[in-house]
């Protein structure tokens, strides 16, 4: 039976990482997934929810729920934080046991971050990618702790031909993005970013990989500001390399 998945592209990737989204669509298609792209999607509401603007988050969440909930296909996203939001916080925006709450819980069960979808649902780790580069991995917080993703991304990386995976010191320490946090407390955010950049430089890697657009924007900016030649890539873009 064909697996069907709706693409939840997320507002950040939509605005800043269109290539990553194209690659995601292509990879899933190549793996035999029947994908669809609900065009009317905008934002799931996470940035508002995380900043305390729950009343603003709710209508966005409702729209998201109605849109993606209309189809019983999986929902796949390139962002761990967005999936963590729709799984663990979105349902609670609606009164317990209300129709929306129940539908949201059901939808939550089939919403997946890309690497977890590949490894845990499709049960695939080798996409035939080739990337003869030394790579290190940054574990995005919401993917790691919110979604319990301990090794899916690394398993995918280890299956990439000629890729050398090196460890990252303080791999699981937050990079300092934190959404609005980065503009509310820019100095602290910057200090955390610098610490992450120092660790990445010390790893000896040529590329650092992460599964979240927010982390990548932050880390990429940090590496650039530090004058580093190290590239920050989304896992999806790396897996598309042949």
Q: Which of residues 203-242 bind another protein (CB under 8 A)?
A: 217-218, 220-222, 224-225
Is 16 an interacting residue with respect to another protein (CB under 8 A)? yes
Q: At its nearest, how many Å lie between another protein and the CB of residue 162?
A: 27
Nearest CA to 70 out of 6, 114, 133, 138 is that of 6
Is 1 an interacting residue with respect to another protein (CB under 8 A)? no
Which residues, numbered 70-129, are part of the site for another protein (CB under 8 A)? 70-72, 89, 102-103, 105-106, 109
Binding test (CB under 8 A) with another protein, winner from 2, 55, 99, 242: 55
For residue 188 the two structure tokens come to 């602290």
SS3 83: helix
Binding test (CB under 8 A) with another protein, winner from 21, 149, 153, 163: 21
Binding test (CB under 8 A) with another protein, winner from 22, 30, 150, 158: 22
Q: Are strands 207-210 and 4-7 parallel, antiparallel or unpaired?
A: unpaired
Is 158 an interacting residue with respect to another protein (CB under 8 A)? no
Nearest CA to 80 out of 211, 219, 188, 181 is that of 211
Nearest CA to 126 out of 5, 30, 206 is that of 30
73 vs 160 by CB, closer to another protein = 73
Judge whether 6 and 35 are in contact, CB under 8 Å: yes
Stretch that binds another protein, among 54-62, 117-125, 128-136, 199-207 (CB under 8 A): 54-62
d(CA 58, CA 44): 9
Q: At its nearest, how many Å lie between another protein and the CB of residue 150?
A: 12
């Amino acid at each position: 039976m064909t697996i069907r998945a709706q693409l939840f592209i997320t507002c950040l990737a939509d605005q800043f990482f269109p290539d990553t989204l194209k690659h995601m669509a292509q990879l899933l298609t190549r793996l035999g997934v029947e994908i669809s792209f609900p065009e009317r999607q905008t934002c799931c509401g996470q940035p508002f929810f995380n900043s305390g603007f729950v009343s603003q988050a709710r209508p966005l969440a409702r729209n998201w729920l109605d849109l993606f909930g209309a189809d019983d296909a999986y929902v796949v996203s390139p962002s761990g934080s967005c999936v963590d939001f729709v799984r663990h916080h979105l349902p609670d925006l609606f009164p317990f046991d209300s129709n929306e709450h129940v539908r949201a819980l059901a939808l939550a069960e089939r919403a997946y971050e890309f690497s977890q979808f590949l490894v845990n649902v499709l049960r695939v780790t080798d996409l035939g990618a080739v990337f003869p580069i030394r790579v290190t991995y940054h574990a995005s917080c919401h993917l790691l702790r919110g979604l319990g993703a301990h090794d899916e991304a690394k398993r995918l990386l280890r299956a990439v031909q000629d890729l050398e995976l090196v460890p990252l010191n303080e791999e699981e320490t937050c990079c300092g993005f934190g959404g609005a946090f980065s503009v509310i407390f820019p100095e602290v955010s910057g200090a955390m970013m610098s610490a992450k950049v120092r660790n990445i430089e010390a790893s000896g890697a040529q590329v650092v990989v992460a599964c979240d657009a927010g982390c990548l924007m932050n880390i990429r900016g940090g590496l650039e500001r530090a004058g580093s030649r190290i590239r920050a890539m989304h896992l999806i873009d790396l897996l598309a390399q042949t």
